[in-house]
Amino acid sequence: MASKPLIVGIGGTTRANSSTEKALRFTLGVCEKDGASTIIFDGPTLDALPNYAPEKPDRVDEASDFVAAVRRADGIIVATPGYHGTISGLVKNALDYVEDLREDERVYWSGMPVGCIATGAGWQGTVTALEALRAVAHALRGWPTPLGAAINTSQPAFSPDGDPIDERVSFQLTTVAQEVMAFVRWRRAGEDPNG
């Protein structure tokens, strides 16, 4: 029997339980219900990563754990707040660590589905952050899911326990998760002659 696919979630803000983190956790939960195991690197965890420095190959434990998880992943979900119209520095710094996979057999995110989620207090910054995130996924050779989730948090989007309270938010996040999982299944079926 094939092992469960691993979906790695990356994102959030330095504030624990932010709307960005809630969106990421909800989406990973949908993946778990669909048979995946998940690992999350939330904002406070990402805050422990030093600024990425390619000329310094030594890595703190948190960075080594992050790179190892991404290396094992079957799919990625990234959630960023829209800061000044683009990806937050916290999330971008974590994504820079993917450069450590440049010499792997599977370079960067080659052939992996990447679910992209952006949140923000308004549409303009949220949408442009989503566009930037999709561009980064392409640059890392990943396959952004057809739907990217853009969540306007100027109105309440989540309950205190993290569930979407807006059906449009729930639809977007559920669809991102389902598209990541569908791609993982297609990919595995193509690689596994018994799949």
In a domain, 167, yes or no: yes
- Give residue 193's pLDDT: 42
Residues whose CB falls within 8 Å of the CB of residue 150, separated by 6 or more in sequence, listed in order = 118, 123, 126, 127, 130, 172
Provide mean pLDDT across the span 147-168. Answer: 95
Q: What is the CA radius of gyration of the chain?
A: 16
Residue reference for tokens 């679910």: 115
- Give residue 190's pLDDT: 85
- Give residue 16's pLDDT: 85
Q: Give me the chain's average pLDDT, please.
A: 95
In a domain, 129, yes or no: yes
Residues whose CB falls within 8 Å of the CB of residue 158, separated by 6 or more in sequence, listed in order = 19, 22, 23, 26, 164, 165, 169
pLDDT in tens, 90-142: 999 999 999 999 999 999 999 999 999 999 999 999 999 999 999 999 999 99
Instruction: Give yes or no for residue 169 having a pLDDT over 50.
Output: yes
In a domain, 163, yes or no: yes
Which tokens belong to 19? Answer: 């709307």
Instruction: Give yes or no for residue 166 having a pLDDT over 70.
Output: yes
Pairing relationship of beta strands 86-87 and 149-152 according to DSSP bridges: unpaired
Provide mean pLDDT across the span 67-85. Answer: 97
Q: Nearest CA to 81 among 15, 171, 167?
A: 15
- Give residue 191's pLDDT: 66
What domain count does the chain have? Answer: 1
In a domain, 61, yes or no: yes
In a domain, 176, yes or no: yes
> 115 is in which domain, residue-wise?
6-191
Percent of the chain at pLDDT > 70 equals: 96
In a domain, 85, yes or no: yes
In a domain, 1, yes or no: no
CA 189/CA 98 separation, integer angstroms: 26
Q: What is the CATH number of the domain that holds 152?
A: 3.40.50.360
Write down the pTM of the prediction.
Answer: 0.95
Provide mean pLDDT across the span 174-187. Answer: 97
